[in-house]
Amino acid sequence: MLAADVPPFFAMDTAAKLPPAECAQVLAELGYAGLGGRPDSAKAFQAALVAQKLKLFNGYHVSNFTYGQVEISPDLIKAVDGLAGTGGTLWLGLNKVQFPMGLNLPPEYGDTIVVPQLRQLLAYAKPKGVKISLYPHAGFWAAQFEVCLRVANKVDDPALGVTFNLCHWLKVEGSERDPLPLIKEALPRLNFITINGADTGDTQKLGWDKLIQPLGRGSYNVAGFVAQTRAAGYRGAYGFQGFGITMDSKELLKETMEGWKRMVK
């Protein structure tokens, strides 16, 4: 039996690699709240999900930002338009930030490039009903959760939030650093938390096969992490990251849902 206040739990399309109608049916049968997908297929998946009384939570997109750019990048316009009308949030990875040529500037200078362009993007996205959540990703300019939070705080718009990704935290920060203080700081802007099974140890040196496993596997205490984030006041959705797991999608989703139910009993 699940606790009465169990938060929504959705699967990312890295795990749910199925066509829209089949994907929605499998997710509904297993007890997921919906899907995290992509802007270019959002409308097709959203229609299938709604038919199963499920939700499209977000659509993942990666973009680059360039010094001196005065118009919104065409890829970002396309991403927003793809999500318009679906209720899905634009999950945005800030990949490369191109600085002025020939100048040796600290990485934080990127804020002066990214912040005004995000404000411009929000002005385009908000009338279309699309919110944005910054998605930290290892290897990106915004690889650190706290960089995403710093940028979101500078933009200071309720339509711009942040996502915490457990696997990327472990890869970038390591397993020894406690994420709870930053998560507490981020609560007013924290839209999503993604989780998966993972191992502990020197996680910065571990491969993704050790950092992204079916929920319920691995030595990292994911159940404790979920409990701590809930106790800290997080009341949003949790998503399952399944990138690189070489299992049949249905089996992966089934095993992960069983792991989730054990965590939130």
d(CA 120, CA 124): 7
pLDDT at residue 4 is higher than 60:
no
Query: Mind listing the pLDDT tens digit for each residue in 185-196?
Result: 999 999 999 999
C-alpha 66, offset from chain centre: 23
Residue 170: per-residue pLDDT: 98
Asked if residue 114 is part of any domain, the answer here is yes
- The CATH number covering residue 256 comes to 3.20.20.150
What's the pLDDT band for 241 if we cut at 50, 70, 90?
A: very high
| Direct distance between the N- and C-terminal alpha carbons of the chain, in angstroms, rounded to an integer | 6
Query: Mind listing the pLDDT tens digit for each residue in 145-164?
Result: 999 999 999 999 999 999 99
- Percent of all residues in the chain with a pLDDT value above 90, rounded to a whole number: 94
pLDDT at residue 239 is higher than 50:
yes
Residue 2: per-residue pLDDT: 52
Asked if residue 10 is part of any domain, the answer here is no
Supply the range of the domain harboring residue 146: 20-263
* pLDDT mean over 3-29: 93
What's the structural domain count of the chain?
1
* pLDDT mean over 205-226: 97
Asked if residue 1 is part of any domain, the answer here is no
Distances (CA, A) of 82 to 44, 59, 70, 202: 10, 9, 22, 39
Asked if residue 191 is part of any domain, the answer here is yes
Query: Mind listing the pLDDT tens digit for each residue in 123-147?
Result: 999 999 999 999 999 999 999 999 9
d(CA 134, CA 192): 10
Residue 1: per-residue pLDDT: 38
Asked if residue 6 is part of any domain, the answer here is no
What is the DSSP track for 165-220? EHHHHHHHH-SSS--HHHHHHHGGGEEEEEE-B---SSGGGS-HHHHSB-BTBSSS
Residue 3: per-residue pLDDT: 54
